[in-house]
């Protein structure tokens, strides 16, 4: 005599639980923290047939981690340096402020030394 409960448990055993996006993101960030990276910002998670691909932004780099769907193991990872797009304005804010500071410094020095009266005496 076969019981009905045996038939119901068989399909449940065949069902494999895969991790969700939150779990694989946690695996990836934990891995990067163990490598010594800080300031992690998860950017994107995608899945294909056999692996999740997690992209995480670091300070000046981007990490791509491939995690196996069934075993939750990290199969491969890659850390790339971000390339910055060239700005439309050729000067940085730092160089502009430095130049303005030097000009103001020279004006103050010239006013303190009274260079104008000296130059008018020469000409």
Global model pTM greater than 0.75: no
- Count how many domains the chain has: 2
Give a yes or no: residue 87 inside a domain: no
The arithmetic mean of pLDDT across residues 40-60, rounded, is 90
Is residue 50 within 8 Å of 68, Cβ to Cβ?
A: yes
Identify whether residues 107 and 63 lie together within a single domain: no
CA distances 91 to 52, 76, 86, 97, Å, are 41, 40, 11, 10
CATH number at residue 70: 3.10.450.630
Give a yes or no: residue 49 inside a domain: yes
d(CA 72, CA 69): 6
Q: Where are the alpha helices (DSSP H) in the chain?
A: 4-14, 21-34, 93-113, 115-122
pLDDT per residue as tens digits for the range 26-49: 999 999 999 998 888 999 999 888
What are the structure tokens assigned to 108, written together?
Answer: 């103050």
Give a yes or no: residue 86 inside a domain: no
* 46: three-class secondary structure by DSSP: strand
Return the pLDDT at 39.
86
Return the pLDDT at 28.
92
The arithmetic mean of pLDDT across residues 71-99, rounded, is 85
Identify whether residues 23 and 49 lie together within a single domain: yes
Residue-number span of the structural domain to which 105 is assigned = 93-122
β partners of residue 56 = 42, 63
Identify whether residues 20 and 75 lie together within a single domain: yes
Identify whether residues 8 and 66 lie together within a single domain: yes
Identify whether residues 47 and 26 lie together within a single domain: yes
CA angle, 46 then 47 then 48, to 5°: 135
Give a yes or no: residue 24 inside a domain: yes
- Is pLDDT at 69 greater than 70 in this prediction? yes
Identify whether residues 63 and 14 lie together within a single domain: yes
- Is pLDDT at 113 greater than 60 in this prediction? yes
Give a yes or no: residue 77 inside a domain: yes
Which of 37, 75, 73 is CA-nearest to residue 57?
37
Identify whether residues 17 and 37 lie together within a single domain: yes
């Amino acid at each position: 005599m076969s019981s009905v409960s045996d038939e119901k448990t068989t399909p449940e055993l065949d069902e494999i639980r895969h991790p969700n996006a939150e779990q694989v993101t946690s695996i990836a960030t934990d891995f990067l923290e163990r490598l010594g990276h800080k300031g992690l910002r998860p950017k994107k998670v995608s899945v294909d047939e056999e692996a999740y691909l997690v992209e995480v932004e670091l300070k000046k780099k981007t990490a791509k981690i491939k995690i196996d769907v069934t075993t939750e193991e990290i199969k491969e990872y890659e850390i790339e340096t971000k390339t910055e797009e060239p700005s439309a304005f050729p000067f940085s804010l730092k160089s502009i402020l430095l130049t303005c500071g030097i000009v103001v410094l020279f004006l103050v020095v010239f006013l303190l030394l009274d260079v104008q009266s000296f130059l008018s005496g020469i000409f």
